[in-house]
Amino acid sequence: MRTAPHLSRRALLTAATASVTAGVAAAAAAPSQASVAHHSPLSAVSAGFRTVGRVKKAADGSVQYTWPGIVFEGRFCGTGVGIVLDDSANDYDVQIDGTTVSTVVTPGRTTYWVRDLADTAHTVRLVKRTESPWAVARFGGFVAARGGKVLAAPAARSRQIEFIGDSFTAGYGNASGTRDCSANGGVDRNSNADLAFGALTARKLDADYQQNAFSGRGMVRNYNGGEPGTDYRTYYDRALLNVVGDVWRKPRGWRPQVVVIGLGINDFSTPLHPGEPWATQSELIAAYTSAYHGFLDKLRARYGSRTFLVVSATPVSGTAFADTAQGIVEDRNSRGDDRVGYWHYDDPGLDRLGCDWHPSLRDHRIISGLLDQHLATLPLDW
């Protein structure tokens, strides 16, 4: 299988690289019509929505967030719904009654409206498609059109999955259809976390999920040795990725039955450079192995002994990644933890036609199917 020559080029996302263009693309499907009212007050209607993903409540009642794949779900009765947002960095899909009616591109501070719906009860789902580790977005709630009302928030799902990973987990450039996406909108316009493999699998299982992905980050080494002194673990415990010292407060009800971990592509996909902490690949493997065990210990302490921890790997630049990941799982199993498993995914149908040789939308559907098969082998009691 051909190894991708470019992986997680978005590794070095910083404020300096966050160039965004404000605007709204409202391609609403009939019978809905989308419109925008600018400079709306950002006041939350917290009783009218529920959140899927890691967020932080602000003092004004709005919700702040940076991770990809954050979802807000609500219910309303009437002919339209407004979505209160303050975000000049990200793209969103708006779904009404299970159908995507529009994509909102870097909306800024606004109330985005979907109108001309049948005058009845509806569901609304807002999903953050893109990554923004450098920029905090805010959601202020759903508001009903005149004559309608926001209904009680949907109930939480009993099944829960957490996805931990890099650009593959985030859905980096998956909607491009061409590896060089510089001429068709760039990475942001071509990324859709909601169509990444984890989100696809979670929806098939009717599970709530977290998509805790950060492109270009590895367990101990970032893509091509970038930003030394940091790695995925630097950010994992945060709700807001760009706030040093921020700590996500785990809700009492968040206890996933499965955690799928995909960290290692960036550690092993590029050769070591002079001056890096590891002089040889053997030293890198040793550091990676030690850090991975520590990370699994953290997850065990947080979620308990019943949660299944799935260590994943995929072919990249030789076999070091896969072999090391499998060895870590075998070591955990030998210590008596039989709820740590190994999932190696690959398929001859993968075309890697996303930006920079990343999985395409078709690839993510294939990988999701492979994950479905793996999860079906676990004795999950959910």
Which residues are tagged catalytic?
A: 167
Q: Which helix (H) or strand (E) holds 322?
A: helix 320-334
| The two structure tokens encoding residue 252 | 């009492």
User: What are the distances in angstroms from CA 282 to CA 5, 278, 287, 315?
Assistant: 22, 8, 9, 18
E strand map for the chain: 33-38, 49-52, 56-57, 63-65, 71-78, 81-87, 91-96, 99-105, 108-115, 120-128, 137-144, 149-150, 159-165, 207-213, 258-262, 308-313, 340-344
Spatial CB neighbours of 271, under 8 Å, sequence gap ≥ 6: none
Nearest Cα to Cα of residue 68 among 204, 217, 249: 217
Rounded Cα distance between 334 and 340, Å, is 11
Cross-strand pairs, 123: 75
- What is the bridge-based pairing of β-strands 63-65 and 91-96? unpaired
Half-sphere exposure of 194 toward its Cβ, with a 13 Å CA cutoff?
18
Of 310, 59, 283, 69, the C-alpha closest to 196 is 69
**Six-digit token string for 139:** 């959601």
Are 168 and 345 in contact, with CB atoms under 8 Å apart?
no
CA dist 73 to 136, 331, 370, Å?
Answer: 20, 41, 28
Span between the terminal Cα atoms of the chain, in Å: 36
Is the distance from CB of 257 to CB of 205 less than 8 angstroms?
no
129 with 227: CB under 8 angstroms? no
